[in-house]
Amino acid sequence: MMEDIIKVTKLDYVRLNGIISSIKQFNKEASKEVSFLETELTRAKKIDSKKIGAEFVTMNTQVEIVDMDTNKSMTIRLVYPKDADFKKGNISILSPLGSALLGYKTDSVVSFKVPGGLKKMKICNIVFQPEANGDYTT
């Protein structure tokens, strides 16, 4: 089975690799928690922030997703760990859902491991993407 190509901005790639390096250096127990994100970044195509399509999930993108099992829709924002706040819909890139969403585009179905098995979410709509709005540094 061929994997979908995911695209990340070069800036997101550099920042996220910095976070991964820090975690691996200072928090050995959490190292395995970032392995999925690390794998995703390794296979991602790196794109200049000004050239990434508006349909791709980048850092700080607000995205509408649907749970493929329950058909429940939710709007979340993909954020760096320091900005995570589940009650506000700010999902950390280090969470299984956050790592799964990065780099995919509208109409993609992403899957990730949860304690009960495998969860699938469909990306229905990009509500806000910083790069599409001229913000190439957030």
Hey, where are the domains in the chain?
A: 7-130
Per-residue pLDDT 10s for the chain (138 aa) are: 345 789 999 999 999 999 999 888 887 777 777 888 999 999 999 999 999 999 999 999 999 999 999 999 999 999 999 999 999 999 999 999 999 999 999 999 999 988 889 999 999 999 999 999 888 776
Residue with structure tokens 């990009």? 126
> Which CATH class name applies to 7-130?
alpha beta
CA distances in angstroms from 50 to 8, 55, 68, 131, listed in the order given: 12, 13, 32, 7
pLDDT at residue 129, as a whole number:
96
Contacts of 111 (CB under 8 A, 6+ apart): 100, 118, 119, 120, 121
Closest by CA position to 100, among listed 67, 135, 136 = 67
pLDDT at residue 19, as a whole number:
93
Q: What is the pTM of this model?
A: 0.91
CA atoms within 13 A of residue 113's CA, in its CB half-sphere: 7
CA distances in angstroms from 118 to 31, 33, 110, 124, listed in the order given: 21, 16, 10, 19
Report which residue type is found at 92: S
pLDDT at residue 2, as a whole number:
42
